[in-house]
Structure formats: C-alpha cells, structure tokens
Amino acid sequence: MVLMTMLLAGAAVNVDLHQPWQAAASDQVESRVEAKADGRQCLHYDFKGVSGYAVMRRSLPLDWPEDFELAATLQGQGDANALQLKFADASGDNVWWLNKPGFAPPAQPRTLRAQRRSMDFAWGPAEDHTLRHTQTVELVVASTGPGAQAGRGVVCLGALSLVPRAPLTQPPQRPVLQQQGAQLLVDLGRERDFSGLLLRWAQAPAKFSISTSIDKRRWTPLGAETASHGLDALFLPDAHARWLRITGEPGMSLAELRLPSPEPGADADWPDRNAMLADLARRLPQGTLPRAFSGQQNYWTLVGVDGGAEHSALLSEDGALELGRGGPSLEPQIRMTDDKGNSRWLDWSRAGIGQSLASGELPLPSVHLVWPGLQLDVTAAADGSSTAPRLLARYTLRNTGKTALALDMQWLLRPWQVNPPQQFLNTPGGFSPIRQLAWNGQDLTLNGQPAIRPMFKPDAVRALAGSVDREALQAAAPLTTDLRDADGLVSAALARSLQLAPGESRVLDFAMALAPRTKLDGAAGFDAIEQAWQQRLGSLKLTLPPGNEALARTIKTTWSQMLLSREGAALRPGTRAYGRSWIRDGAMMAEALLRVGETAAARDFIDGFEPQIFASGKVPCCIDRFGADPVAENDSHGQYLFAVAEVWRYTHDKAWLARHWPRVQKVVAYMDKLRASTLGPDTPPQARGLMPPSISHEGYSDKAAYSFWDDFWALRGYKDAVQIAEALGQDAGPFERSRDAFAGSLAAAVRNTAAVFKLDTLSGAADRGDFDPTSSTMALDPAQAADLLPPKLLANTFVRYTESALARADGTRPQRDYTPYELRTIGALVRLGQADDAQALLQFFFKDQRPAAWHQWAEVVMREPREPKFLGDMPHAWVASDFLRSALDLFAYERESDGALVLGAGISAPMRLAGDVGIAGLRTHGGRLDWTLLRTQTGWRLAIEQRPAGTPLRLAWPDGELPRARLNGQTMKWEGRELPIPAEARSIEFD
C-alpha cells in the first residue's frame, strides 16, 4: 500500500527485492530462487532438454501511473532465451509484459528500461487492455522465440524501479533549422522521444553524420557517417534529444525533415523498420516497394521440397521470390527507355497479373505479368535435399506486340521478405536485413554464402547501402568488393539488356541457395521436378464431370502443400507463422496423408513426436527445436492415441504398434488423472468428469475453458487405446472402463450444458454455452460419437451453421473474416446426409482461394481481400488437411458403428446427372478402394474395380429419387438411403 501511495504522489519507487520470491517451472524444467547477500534475487534454471519456462514470482500490488519509466537491472550467465517481466492482475488471468526474445544474461549488470508504450497486454479476457492495476510480478526465462538456446543458466534481478513521468499532452513544435557552414543545427523545442529521422534533401551532401544533445554542449553520435541518396531514412529506436546536429558539407540543404515519434500529435511513429519502409513507400513512386508496404494485402505461395519447410521459399502473387525463411526477396522489374531517352518502370503496380500451377495442380507456381505489348512469366520450383534445397527461378519474356522492344531487365534484391509486415507470429514478416553483399563474377553472396547464381552473364551488378530506392540503385557503383551495412539496408540490382522482336521470347534462369550447404551448380531441372510430382500425386485418380476442376485440382495441390510444409518427419501447419509441429495439426494431417497413400510420412511423424512426450504421460501440444512445449492443451493426449491407432489401422504393422505400447499406457494413465481432477465440487456441475480447462481451442486463448473439442478428442483416444490393447493381445479391460465412464460423462455434459445455457444446439464449451459448429464437427469425425448426442441438438447445430454459411455465400448475409477450418463442416454434412449443402459450401470456399489458380487457403480469409491483416501461413497445411479429409469423404468414409465403408455420400444429384464420378487409389483401413459411378443412357452403373477385403461397402444416395438397383438382373433392396453391396458384386445397374 505504501508503494501505491508513493506512486500516486508522483515519487519514484525502488522495489524492495528482499521480500520472498517463489520459483516455479513447466514440466521437467528445474528452477530455484537464490537470495544474494547484496539483495539480488537470482533465478537458476535448467531446461533439461525440453521447451518451457522457469519463473520466479512474488506479490507486488501496483497502481500504475498514467505514464512511467520501468527499469530492471539484470545480470547472469547462460545462452540466449526469451526474458519476460510479467505483471498480472488479482485474478491472474490478465497479464502485461515486457518481452525480450533472444536475451542473453549479461555478465555485468545491465538495466532494461521500458515506458508505457513498451508494456504490452500479453493475454487475458479483459476487454480494456489499459495497464492500471496489477497484483503480482514475475521474472521468466522461456525457451521460445528467435535466438532461444534453452540449456541452463541464471538471471539475477538487482534492482526494480518505477518512475512516474508527466504525460505529454501537447504536440511537439516544428523543428527549427539553422545553417552553420557544413552543419545544420536542429532545435526540437524541448526534449523529445523519437524513433527515426527522415531527410529529404534539396541539396544533398555526398555524406553526412548526425549527433544528438540534451544541453547543446555534450553531443552523442547517432551511428557512423553515411552516404546520402536524396531521400534518407534512419531508424532510431528509443532516441531522445533536445538538439540535432547534421554534419555534411557547405551548401547542403533540406527540403523536409521529419521525426517519427510515439508522442501525441507527432509524425507517425516508426516502432519498427517495417513502419519506416511503409513511410518510404508512401513517398516513393508506386511500385518501388511491394504492395505490402503500400497498405495493400499481398498473397503468396510456398516453393520447396518435401520435408524442407525450414529452408523453403515464397513466391508472391506479384512475382517476387523470398530466398528462404525470413530471407530477402528478389523482384523482377523492367526499365524501358523510349527513343527520346525517357525511361519508365514496368512493375507490379502497372501490370495485369495472373497466376498458375504446372499442369494446373502441381507445386511449381507461376506468376504472369502483362503490360501492353509485353508479358513476363515467373516460374519457381525447388529440388535437392530437404536440408539443402536449391531454388530455381525461370523468367520468360515475350514480346506480344507488333514493334521491337529494347528492355533493361532488372532483378532487385532488397531487404524485405515476401512474408508481409503484418505477419507477427514466430517469423515476423517484412524487413529482412542484408548486411553484406559481394559479387564474384558468378554468384551473388549474402553474408559470405553463395546465394544467387544467374545462368547468364549480367550486363551489370550494382549495389548500395542505406537506401532501398530503385532510382538510387541505378546510380550506384558496380559491386566489385564486399558491401556492408550494419543496419541491414543493402540493396542490389542485376541487369540484362534485351532486344525482342515481335513475337520473340527469351528465357533467363537463376539458381538460388535456400541453405548454407546448397549447391548451385547443374542445369535447371524444371521438367524433372514436374515429372516427380506428377508421379507422386498421380497415385490417386479422380473421375469427375465437367465443372469440378477446382475440386480435383485442390485435392492434389493440398496434398503437396502438406508435404512441403513438413520439416523432416515433423508435420507442420505452416513454414513461417506456424513453423512448429503440433500433435493436433499433425494427427489430422497424418490421417489425410494415410488416405492418399503417404504412409511413411504419417508413421515418421508419430515416431518423431513420441520421444518428446513428458515422463508423466502428458502429450505436449507441440514440439520445436527446443523440445516439448509444456502448455496444457488437453486435446493432445487423444490426438496422439488416434494418430498411433490410425497408422496401425492402415499398415497393420504390429511390431511398430508394440514399440508405442509403453507410451500409450502412460498417456492413458495421464488422461485418467485429468478426468479425475474434474470430479470434485470446484468443477461446474455440467463439466464433471470431463477434461480440465485448456486453451487448445484457439477461441479460448483468453481464458482456459472446458472445451468439448478436448473431450471429443479424449473419447477418440480412449476408444483407440482399447483397439491398440486388443490388437496387441493386452488386457483392454481398464481402458474399456475408462472409455465407458468418460463417454457417460460426456453425454451427460452435453445435455446438461444445453439445459444450463438454454441452448437448442451443441455448445463449444461446457462453461461458455457458445455456438461453435467447426469445433462440434469433431463429434462426428474423428470421435464418431453421434450416438452420445441428443439428435435434435446435433441436427440444429448444422442446420443453423448451413443456413448462415449459405447466406454468406449468396450475399444475403454480410461476409466476415473467417478461418477456413470451416472446411471440416463439409465432412460433417456428408455424414449427416446433406450432400447438396456440402457441395454448395465447397463452391463458396473455393471462391476464397487466393489467388484462385494456386488452389490454397491461408489460415484467415478476409472480407476485404486487400485489407492488410494477419493471415497465418499461406498455404496453411492444417487447413489443407481439413479440405482433403472432407473432399475424400465425398467419395468414401469409414463408419465405426457398423464397420462399413460408405461410398458416394457427398455426391449430389446434379453431380450424378452431369457425368461419371469416382475415385481410384484411395487407401482405407482395409486396403485400396477403386470405384466409379458411370452415367448410362438409362441411369447409372456402379463399377467396383477394387475393394478392401473384409470391409462392408454401402452406396449412399443422399438426395433425389432412389433408383432401382439390380445385380445380375436381380433387384436389390435399399436400406433407407443406402444400398448394401454384396462382397461378390463388381457391377450394379441403376435405372
């Protein structure tokens, strides 16, 4: 209370660190607090080979002033990890933090300082994120984030202080410039915080330097002397000064000086280099920078090899290539000069732009840029190993006009990714520093590594430091030696002059390194790459009537996207934002891959994930290069058991299954403990006996919930544990009892939740009463638990969803931003006999593929396609698996209740009437399935070319009048809207 009173009085406060701190840590991580004699509090940690966190915490009630400076003095030893200083409110649910990724404890005391603008709201259910009242403080070392090395170490907190500051309410005055020979003295009017400096020169010096001062007597240099380029932008995070002094040469003058600042009423802030680049994009001609910095959303696709996600490339919709994860981009632009010497740039902003894939479906993407009389096609592919792949790029210029063209073709290498600046998870998008470039006559090298090899001799290779302006780059000197820039603002241009007669084409190829060990030699292998993918994806053959090209092509493309997104054996939902391996995503991707014959990919994923399971039997939500993540997500356990069982059901490899048996037993025991923890009086009555609250469902990241998503997965896990035990001849009795008890609790919870919240649909969580049909699909598949649900609630859930979704599709209800995880509902509708609705929704989702020709979805689809927002990964491999699983369900799905394989449940009447429909090469639990429904003059003929041995087949006729079915001339009997197919049947006539 004394501390709060002093803060309110405006006094600086030094926190007494002697009060006791408590240590805590995530699973298998060791931590302890040591109080030093000099008052320091030291957190010792050892990550023991897993990912996680170590923390020391204490009570510290604070009423935060309107503005402040927080200072923490730290020292210690250990590798770089994320250092977090957290403040939580009395509930513990709402957290604010100062987060420093890649922080290496300094051997000597170092003070970190933060003002209000640097203290971010981390998470919590509070709608008002303003930092006002907190109750506890934590110092955390977390083995996550860029630069994290995990291991062991110690961090000591030597001082913690909070200094109130008078909040600024008046905008700063305009700077006053005074010329003093070779210097410009800038009076800022008062001490100011600013984040950068933008100089537009009226008369530019060759070079200049800048110093700052508080008192006009002591001056501090802001970096080294730098060359001027007409328009210069200096990124200066946390700069503070009263005076600026610009030193250059006599006669220099400024047309404009701006100080981006976080202060009220100041110029737009530059909190990062992306903001600086966006400011430059507004001031330079459109097309100079990518559309991502011009307030427009850009789209992209993935280029890589199977298992090489960590070393993959991106191709933007506008033809720019990102050289590896987080790397800079190479963008083609053309400079045309007319006979009067006037030049203009041909770039994305002036082009008609389209996209395509090789054969319409293979992962060799192209971008087509069209200007009057000229077309440029950019095609990308990758080959080589997953650890050192090679990126190939082909640029084909075509004179489509009637007059000869003289072109200056240029490839601009500049310091930004294709991954746009609004992307913030895991691999923040936008700026990508280039700190060193060299040209050896054959290769352009980045940071000492060969990176780009043109398969032709450029006419010129130019480079400069400190500017990204293409006009400044044209005036730059040829690159003959190393060019370095500590700020990472190096750019280069490779140029080739071309003469194209009418109708003439010219092809120019590049090879680029996506990893340090990549070999750039060898001819471009586009044909070989295309043939390899054609062979791999050709094992599944589809028969569809005209008008269903998007369905057929997206099946093949999403299949390849899952392979490109995996890192070695680890299945990943993405390569940038989601460059980690989740058991949740992986289990569903593994099921999809098993159905198209990618058995090794599914099996290897489980083999790689299994050793990361905690000794307690807790299945981590995800793993990365730091180890297992300890965040409690209670769907994980059932997903692991399901994935193991699925591999067994497709391979029948008992020796493989036996290797996983010890871990299966531990996981089930851990699930039993979780279930037992919710049987007490502290649990809401409707959630008794379920999985405890968790944040596995992304919609509950604000606060953990009793998610039915977790429970349907847990039920699936219990079911699969029984099957695993039986397959291995083990005692399945304990697992059966757990399964049945949990199923009873789940059935009661669904009914009771509806009663508590007065619902006529299924709820997403037992303690929220929310409507979440995408989550509820889990009840149908993979849980196959429809028999536990009140039929009315189940039916109403998907009637309500379908009505809403179709209203969005036809425009009668406003479209909103959404996640294409909704593709799961296609499979749910198929199982509910609503093929027509499933097909209508597929067409709706196809319209949101961006770009349409690349047959992909991002994690987020926006209502306004060009509004810049976070998209997750593009393509998103978990979304791809949701589509692929649902798309294959149209043709056949496995039904647990009777062991049947149901054919054609998603084939609507219009599809049947339009032509032949079928699939060949589909893998099932019993083996391969090939079937076709052929259109005849009198009706249809069902041809069963190959059927899984011992598996009952049933043909579904989901809508329309039931035709007469005849086998060998004998009429067959329909059972409802399904026709049992005898084991000997190979051809059935329908009329």
Q: Is 872 exposed, middle or buried (0-12, 13-18, 19+ CB in 10 A)?
A: buried
CB 406 within 8 A of CB 497: yes
Strand (E) or helix (H) holding 321: strand 321-322
Whether the ω angle into residue 428 lies within 30 degrees of 0, i.e. cis, is no
Q: What is the pLDDT of residue 736?
A: 98
Do residues 364 and 529 make contact, with C-beta atoms less than 8 angstroms apart? yes
What DSSP designation does 854 have? G
Burial class (CB in 10 A: 0-12, 13-18, 19+), 849: buried
- Residue by residue, DSSP assigns 75-103 as EEEE--EEEEEEEE-TTS--EEEEEEEEE
Q: What is the pLDDT of residues 76-120, one digit of tens each?
A: 999 888 899 999 999 988 999 999 888 889 999 999 888 887 888
- Looking at the chain, the whole-number percentage of residues with pLDDT higher than 90 is 81
Q: Where exactly are the structural domains of the chain? A: 2-164, 176-271, 313-519, 544-892, 898-990
Q: Which long-range contacts does 376-380 make (Cβ < 8 Å, 24+ apart)? A: 376/319, 376/332, 376/334, 378/315, 378/319, 378/321, 378/332, 379/526, 380/303, 380/313, 380/315, 380/321
Predicted local confidence at residue 374, as pLDDT: 96
Number of Cα atoms under 13 Å in the Cβ half of residue 637: 33
pLDDT of residue 150: 65
Radius of gyration of the chain (CA): 31
The CATH number for 313-519, chosen from 1.10.357, 2.70.98, 1.20.120, 1.10.10, is 2.70.98
**Least confident among 122-136, 412-426, 876-890:** 122-136
Instruction: Report DSSP state, residue 320.
Output: -
| Listed residue (600, 757, 594, 731) closest to 668, CA to CA | 731
> Does residue 10 surpass a pLDDT of 70?
no
Q: Residue 964's closest CA among 932, 988, 928?
A: 988
Which 3-state string (H, E, C) describes 731-791?
CCHHHHHHHHHHHHHHHHHHHHHHHHHCCCCCCCECCCCCCCHHHHHHHCCCCCCHHHCCH
**CA 450 → CA 206, 512, 677, distances in Å?**
31, 8, 57
Residue whose C-alpha is closest to residue 139's, from 63, 18, 42: 42
Which residue shows structure tokens 């008890």?
741
Can you give the pLDDT at residue 144?
A: 62
Residue 579 sits at the vertex; the CA angle it makes with 319 and 289, to the nearest 5 degrees, is 30
Q: What is the pLDDT of residue 350?
A: 95
For the record, the structure tokens of 915 come out as: 């032509």
Neighbouring C-beta atoms of residue 111, cutoff 10 Å:
11
Q: In terms of DSSP bridges, do strands 541-543 and 917-924 run parallel, antiparallel, or are they unpaired?
A: antiparallel
Q: Look at 343-357, 471-485, 734-748 and tell me which has the smallest mean pLDDT.
A: 471-485
- DSSP letters of 553-579? HHHHHHHHHHHHT-BTTB--S-SSTT-
Q: How many residues does the chain have?
A: 991
What one-letter code names the amino acid at 748? A
- Average the pLDDT over 967-991 and give the result: 96
**Architecture label for domain 898-990:** Sandwich (2.60)
Position 13 pLDDT exceeds 80: no
Tokens 């991106």 belong to which residue?
Answer: 314
3-state secondary structure of 457: coil
Rounded Cα distance between 711 and 695, Å, is 13
pLDDT of residue 6: 42
Q: What pLDDT does residue 341 have?
A: 76
Residue 524's pLDDT is: 62
Among candidate residues 911, 850, 859, 848, the one with its CA nearest the CA of residue 882 = 859
**CA–CA dist 500, 933 (Å, integer):** 52
What gap in Å lies between CA 714 and CA 746, rounded to an integer?
A: 10
The per-residue pLDDT for 467 is 92
pLDDT in tens, 795-842: 999 999 999 999 998 888 888 899 999 999 999 999 999 999 999 999
Geometric angle at alpha carbon 781, from 777 and 786, rounded to 5°: 80
Mean of pLDDT values over 559-571: 97
Q: Which CATH architecture has domain 176-271?
A: Sandwich (2.60)
Q: How would residue 38 be classed by pLDDT, with cut points 50, 70 and 90?
A: confident
The angle, 0 to 180 degrees and rounded to 10, between the axes of the packed helices 791-810 and 835-846 is 40
Which residues face 415 on adjacent strands?
none
CA distance 280 to 271: 14
Q: Which residue has the tokens 């008794």?
A: 688
- Mean per-residue pLDDT for 199-214? 94
**Across the chain, how many H-helices and E-strands are there?**
17, 50
Question: pLDDT at position 328, please?
Answer: 97
Task: Please return the burial class of 136, using the count of CB atoms within 10 Å of its CB with bins 0-12, 13-18 and 19+.
Answer: middle
- Report how far Cα 197 is from the mean position of its chain's Cα atoms: 33
Residue 8 is predicted with a pLDDT of 41
Joined tokens for residue 703: 């606060």
How many C-alpha atoms does 773 have within 13 Å on its Cβ side?
24
Closest alpha carbon to 310 in 385, 233, 208: 385
pLDDT in tens, 833-845: 999 999 999 999 9
DSSP assigned state of 618: P
Question: Among 233-242, 376-385, 759-768, whose mean pLDDT is lowest?
Answer: 233-242
Q: Average pLDDT, stretch 849-865?
A: 96
- The string of pLDDT tens digits covering residues 623-652 is 987 788 888 899 999 999 999 999 999 999
How many Cα atoms sit within 13 Å of 153 on the Cβ side? Answer: 26
Distance separating alpha carbons of residues 497 and 374, to the nearest angstrom:
15
Contact 157, 70 (CB under 8 A): no
> What pLDDT, on a 0 to 100 scale, did the predictor assign at position 112?
86
* pLDDT tier for residue 145 given thresholds of 50, 70 and 90: very low
Q: How far is CA 476 from CA 469, 582, 847, in A?
A: 11, 47, 45
b/e burial code for range 213-231 (CB count within 10 A of at least 16 → b):
eeeeeebeebeeebbbbeb
pLDDT band at 11 (very low <50, low <70, confident <90, very high): low
Q: Give the DSSP H or E segment for 935.
A: strand 927-935
Q: Calculate what percentage of the chain has a pLDDT beyond 70.
A: 98
Q: What is the third-level CATH fold of 544-892?
A: Glycosyltransferase (1.50.10)
Q: Is residue 268 scored above 50 in pLDDT?
A: yes
Domains 2-164 and 544-892 share a fold: no
Helices (H), 777-851: 791-810, 824-831, 835-846
- Residue 983 DSSP one-character state: T
Superfamily for the 2-164 domain:
Galactose-binding lectin (2.60.120.430)
Closest Cα partner for 322 from 575, 625, 579? Answer: 575
pLDDT of residue 702: 82
Give Cα 251 to chain centroid, integer Å. 51
Dist. CA 605–CA 639, nearest whole Å: 13
Residues 54 and 29: beta-carbon distance below 8 Å: yes
Whole-number mean pLDDT of the chain?
93
What pLDDT is stored for residue 7 in this prediction? 43
Counting Cβ atoms within 10 Å, is residue 160 exposed (0-12), middle (13-18) or buried (19+)?
buried
Residue 832: closest CA among 793, 788, 786, 801? 786
